Chain A
Amino acid sequence: MARLTAGIGTSHVPAIGAALDNGRAAEPYWKPIFAGYDFSRSWIAQQKPDVVFLIYNDHATSFSLDCIPTFAIGCAESFLPADEGWGARPVPLVKGHAELAGHIAESVIQDDFDLTIVNRLDVDHGLTVPLSLMFGQPAAWPCRVIPFAVNVVQYPPPSGARCFALGKAIRKAVASFDADLNVQIWGTGGMSHQIQGPRAGFINKAFDAAFLDQLVRDPAALSRKPHIDYIRDAGAEGIELVMWLIMRGALDEEVEEVYRFYHVPASNTAVGHIILKNRSASNSQPRAYPS
């Protein structure tokens, strides 16, 4: 059966992708950010996930105001990096896992989560920047990716509680898929930031630290945080953090915090990153991977 072994939280700031793509990663401004992911890149090279279930938000790229799905799962064989107005990022094609994605859709819809199924989806920086941070600049991404887009563009995004419960349904779906797969779940976006209006540049380090602590230790309580608290205390766009609760909901109640990194600023944003491992996964013998 497929095993959900670990969860990752990370910001997905577009300027980080641009810095990497334009060969500016070694500049003093960007260097500490990429250095903050050094551990993560070597860790994931050992973990070798077969599939990453990647929760992100589309930034008015594939979904305009014509159609705004609250939860959308990408079930295609592959997904093109999108042209967001600057030209498409020079990153590899994102290969999906259509069979697992279809299975998860069937399972969670029957568990009362009304997903939108998407078979044509160009993926923007929300999805590709986390891949770049975790894998660097390979010729091809080393795993399959199931894109899972959450609406955080038009208010209201789904509640934290709904996201947390959805994570649990995803966990159940993965565990019932009949294939020997190592699956990770990533929640992306945040941390505190605001990129609109006179309050742009808003950062709240204390909020972010408390969010990470509570995400690890008491996610059920965190999931009840109302939207207004994110908007007021984490900046209008900090509300993206509800997506991390889907990731956390899919993990064990008790998790091992493998790594944490926090840095201000990347452009307008506080960069946050956490790696959480299921204790059940830690206890099992490492699996040998065919080369």
Chain B
Amino acid sequence: MKPPRPYDDVPGTTVFDAGMARKGYHLNQFCMSLMKAENRLVFLADQRAYLDNWQMTEGQKQAVLARDYNAMIAQGGNIYFLAKIFATDGKSFQYAAALMTGMSQEDYLKMMLGGGRRPEGNRYKGEAGGEKGRG
């Protein structure tokens, strides 16, 4: 059995450790391929065919096609790698972050302008007082 890790009780957060890196190797390396402009064009032209060239699980491929970033992260995706996907879509880190919280783009922007998600209620799983979007 895996011993508990100190970060297991941080809410709404997946730490990209060795275990996640093993799980997500091919997903993340697919993302790296989008660093090249010509690959971005090929990917956008037929996403499914492009994904089928990578040794990714079906679940990982479905998560990419659905642009479900939380599902990609749960299957070993790392945000800095996944950034190549939303960059290919012409989207920003703020767009992707808002998407992952389940908030609307407008509400997320408002929260950030208001000083961001507060620490209170958002440091431990099950803590009272967390804001909308807490994991």
Interface residues of A (CB under 8 A from B): 14-15, 18, 59-61, 64-66, 82-87, 153-156, 192, 194-207, 226-228, 231-233, 236-237, 264-265, 267-268, 270
Query: Contacts A65-B28, A83-B35, A85-B40 given: A200-B10 contact, CB under 8 Å?
Result: no
12 A-B pairs besides A194-B117, A201-B98 with CB distance below 8 A are A15-B92, A66-B29, A82-B35, A85-B35, A87-B37, A199-B101, A199-B117, A200-B101, A201-B112, A202-B119, A203-B119, A268-B116
Query: Contacts A60-B80, A85-B83 given: A199-B135 contact, CB under 8 Å?
Result: yes
For B133, what are the chain A residues with a Cβ–Cβ distance below 8 Å?
198-201
Cβ contact within 8 Å between A60 and B101: no
Question: A61–B35 Cα gap in the complex (Å)?
Answer: 8
Cβ contact within 8 Å between B18 and A60: no
| A-B CB contact pairs (8 Å), 9 listed | A84-B87, A196-B73, A199-B10, A199-B133, A201-B108, A228-B6, A236-B13, A267-B92, A267-B112
Query: Contacts A201-B111, A201-B133, A203-B115 given: A196-B79 contact, CB under 8 Å?
Result: yes
Dominant secondary structure of chain A at its interface with chain B: loop
Q: Is B88 an interface residue (CB 8 A)?
A: yes
For A264, what are the chain B residues with a Cβ–Cβ distance below 8 Å?
112, 115-116
For A66, what are the chain B residues with a Cβ–Cβ distance below 8 Å?
29
Question: A69–B126 Cα gap in the complex (Å)?
Answer: 36
Cβ contact within 8 Å between B102 and A231: no
Q: Is B64 an interface residue (CB 8 A)?
A: no
For A270, what are the chain B residues with a Cβ–Cβ distance below 8 Å?
116
Chain A, Cβ-Cβ closest to B21:
A154
